[in-house]
């Protein structure tokens, strides 16, 4: 044995002795949990940043700790619920343990734990009591522990793991995270469930979409985002439910509050209030072929975006205002006639100035194109010509003012109303004050539709 080997072994022996001395009095359970200190601290930091999504980590056979999480797809339309994410994580890790591909794992989530045995997932703000950790260390140590916390105004005060001493808690909770380190080397992107049905229609699911922007279009975004705006919507939801139902079938009930140009439609399903949606009245219709339907799972599949082709020529997708009552027709009949109208989110004057552009537009140029800002809602950016307009008022006291516009979106020399639709715009969402027939308008609108009678 050379001098270097002797010194090297001496150093290793000393290091092992020091490590052994540091671990004296520390249980196997603590030492197993301590390996995950960085991810415990990371999960705490996520909470401080307002992120309450479950995460997890596992130990490879070589001792490396690897972070794992489910990520949302690019369109943000579908996410896993906390309980589903936890279930899928646990199933995945248990399978990997059986295959001897990992040594241990931990899953972190927010729970109702309050120094008791209740590790149920916290689904409301009131239920948020602790960070719970599901663990399996593959040495007959399997279970859950909790780190309680309390909210103090803008702060969160964390307690201790009851299973460990104060010193051991400090060893875990005072762990420093490395700046720039990727703590989630293993990720799986969530894709929305999708299938082709017997009618040849692609059916996808979404569970994060809502009509908040739609109602901002109806009342004006500034008004709707105030406490008063939200209160008005709740009041008219309740008011609609006092009306005689327009439809009552199986577990579905639909009632409406009617105004001159827009109706508020309230839907109850299985005895629960589910949604209220605005319907812009119109006589305009065209033939449509359905290619794809995105059902809103979070609203019991009572709402959907329908995509396809209008007049056998141009692509369209729209929010189906009658999906609750006509779901069976949408899913089985590809070719339908639909009434189409729109709700304008922002409206401005198109000045037609192309002096700084290589593209030169003709005088009667009109167009629409998918919105990059709201791609999942049937929203379009447009340049259109105003064919006609009239003042329109909403609410019983007529305090919400807007206009019903008739806007040409596709110019066809042979067919006057090839694609000319009625749109409602709240006065608040207009960036100018005066309308006149023949003016060029631009902005963004949400297309809505229903199967024509």
CB 206 within 8 A of CB 299: no
pLDDT at 248 over 80: yes
CB 97 within 8 A of CB 136: yes
pLDDT at 99 over 80: yes
pLDDT digits (tens, 9 = 90+) for 339-394: 999 999 999 999 876 555 566 677 789 999 999 999 899 999 999 999 999 999 99
Q: What is the pLDDT of residue 11?
A: 45
Could you give the CA distance from residue 312 to residue 418 in angstroms, rounded to a whole number? Answer: 12
Confidence of residue 3 (pLDDT cuts 50, 70, 90): very low
- The separation between the first and the last C-alpha atoms of the chain, rounded to the nearest angstrom, is 95
Token representation of residue 59? 């130990």
pLDDT at 74 over 80: no
Q: What is the pLDDT of residue 1?
A: 43
Q: How many CB atoms lie within 10 A of CB 120?
A: 13
CA dist list (Å): 144 to 139, 163, 328, 367:
15, 11, 45, 58
Q: Average the pLDDT over 149-167 and give the result.
A: 95
Could you give the CA distance from residue 105 to residue 60 in angstroms, rounded to a whole number? Answer: 9
pLDDT digits (tens, 9 = 90+) for 250-260: 999 999 999 99
Could you give the CA distance from residue 350 to residue 387 in angstroms, rounded to a whole number? Answer: 15
pLDDT at 328 over 60: yes
Q: What is the pLDDT of residue 154?
A: 86
Residues of the chain with pLDDT > 90, as a percent, come to 85
Confidence of residue 21 (pLDDT cuts 50, 70, 90): very low
Q: Considering only CA atoms, give the Rg of the chain.
A: 29
Helix (H, G, I), strand (E, B) or coil at 371: coil
Q: Give the mean pLDDT of the chain.
A: 92
**Alpha helices, H only, 333-418:** none
Q: Average the pLDDT over 312-336 and give the result.
A: 97
Helices H / strands E in the chain, number of each: 9, 22
Q: Average the pLDDT over 267-273 and give the result.
A: 95
Q: What is the pLDDT of residue 375?
A: 86
CB 123 within 8 A of CB 102: no
Q: What is the pLDDT of residue 153?
A: 87
pLDDT at 267 over 70: yes
pLDDT digits (tens, 9 = 90+) for 173-206: 999 999 999 999 999 999 999 999 999 999 999 9
Could you give the CA distance from residue 322 to residue 277 in angstroms, rounded to a whole number? Answer: 10
Q: What is the pLDDT of residue 356?
A: 56
Q: Average the pLDDT over 389-415 and give the result.
A: 94
Q: Average the pLDDT over 306-331 and give the result.
A: 97
pLDDT at 442 over 50: yes
CB 285 within 8 A of CB 339: yes
Q: What is the pLDDT of residue 76?
A: 86
DSSP 61-84: TTS-EEEEEEEE-TT------HHH
Could you give the CA distance from residue 118 to residue 109 in angstroms, rounded to a whole number? Answer: 13
Helix or strand holding residue 216 (H, E): helix 212-219
Chain-centroid distance of CA 301 in Å reads 15
If you average pLDDT over each of 8-22, 158-172, 345-359, which comes out highest? 158-172
DSSP summary character for residue 331 = H
Q: What is the pLDDT of residue 140?
A: 66
Q: What is the pLDDT of residue 135?
A: 98
DSSP 136-187: E-SSS-EEEEEEEEEEETTEEEE---TTS-HHHHHHHHTPPPPTT--S--EE
Spans of all domains in the chain? 26-190, 212-217+281-451
Q: What is the pLDDT of residue 351?
A: 85
Could you give the CA distance from residue 36 to residue 33 in angstroms, rounded to a whole number? Answer: 6
């Amino acid at each position: 044995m050379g001098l270097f080997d002797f010194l090297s072994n001496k150093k290793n022996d000393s290091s092992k002795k020091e490590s052994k001395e540091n671990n004296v009095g520390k249980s196997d359970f603590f030492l197993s949990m301590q390996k995950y200190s960085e991810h415990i601290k990371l999960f705490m930091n996520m909470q401080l940043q307002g992120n309450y999504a479950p995460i997890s980590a596992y130990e490879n056979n070589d001792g490396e700790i690897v972070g794992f999480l489910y990520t949302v797809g690019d369109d943000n339309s579908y996410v896993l619920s906390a309980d589903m994410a936890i279930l899928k994580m646990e199933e995945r890790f248990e399978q990997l343990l059986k295959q001897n591909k990992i040594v241990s794992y931990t899953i972190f989530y927010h729970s109702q734990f309050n120094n008791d045995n209740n590790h149920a997932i916290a689904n409301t703000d009131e239920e948020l009591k602790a960070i719970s950790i599901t663990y399996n260390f593959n040495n007959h140590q399997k279970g859950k522990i909790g780190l309680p916390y309390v909210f103090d105004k803008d702060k969160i005060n964390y307690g201790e793991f009851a299973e460990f001493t104060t010193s051991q808690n400090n060893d875990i909770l005072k762990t420093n995270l490395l700046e720039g380190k990727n703590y989630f080397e293993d990720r799986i992107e969530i894709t929305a469930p999708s299938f082709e049905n017997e009618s040849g229609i692609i059916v996808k699911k979404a569970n994060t979409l809502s009509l908040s922007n739609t109602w901002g279009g109806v009342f004006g975004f500034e008004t709707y985002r105030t406490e008063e705006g939200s209160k008005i919507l709740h009041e008219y939801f309740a008011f609609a439910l006092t009306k005689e139902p327009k439809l009552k079938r199986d577990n579905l009930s639909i009632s409406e509050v009617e105004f001159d140009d827009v109706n508020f439609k309230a839907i109850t399903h299985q005895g629960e209030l589910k949604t209220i949606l605005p319907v812009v009245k119109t006589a305009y219709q065209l033939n449509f072929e359905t290619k794809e339907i995105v059902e809103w799972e979070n609203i019991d599949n009572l709402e959907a975006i329908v995509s396809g082709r209008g007049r056998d020529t141009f692509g369209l997708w729209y929010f189906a205002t009658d999906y609750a009552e006509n779901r069976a027709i949408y899913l089985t009949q590809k070719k339908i006639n639909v009434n189409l109208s729109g709700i304008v989110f922002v409206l401005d004057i198109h000045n037609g100035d192309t002096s700084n552009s290589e593209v030169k537009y003709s005088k009667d140029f009109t167009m629409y194109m998918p919105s990059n800002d709201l791609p999942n809602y049937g929203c379009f950016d447009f340049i259109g010509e105003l064919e006609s307009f009239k003042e329109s008022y909403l609410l019983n006291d007529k305090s919400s003012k807007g206009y019903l516009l008739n806007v040409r979106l596709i110019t066809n020399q042979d067919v006057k109303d090839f694609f000319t639709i009625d749109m409602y715009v709240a006065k608040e969402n207009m960036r100018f004050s005066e309308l006149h027939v023949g003016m060029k308008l631009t902005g963004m609108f949400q297309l809505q539709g229903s199967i024509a009678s």
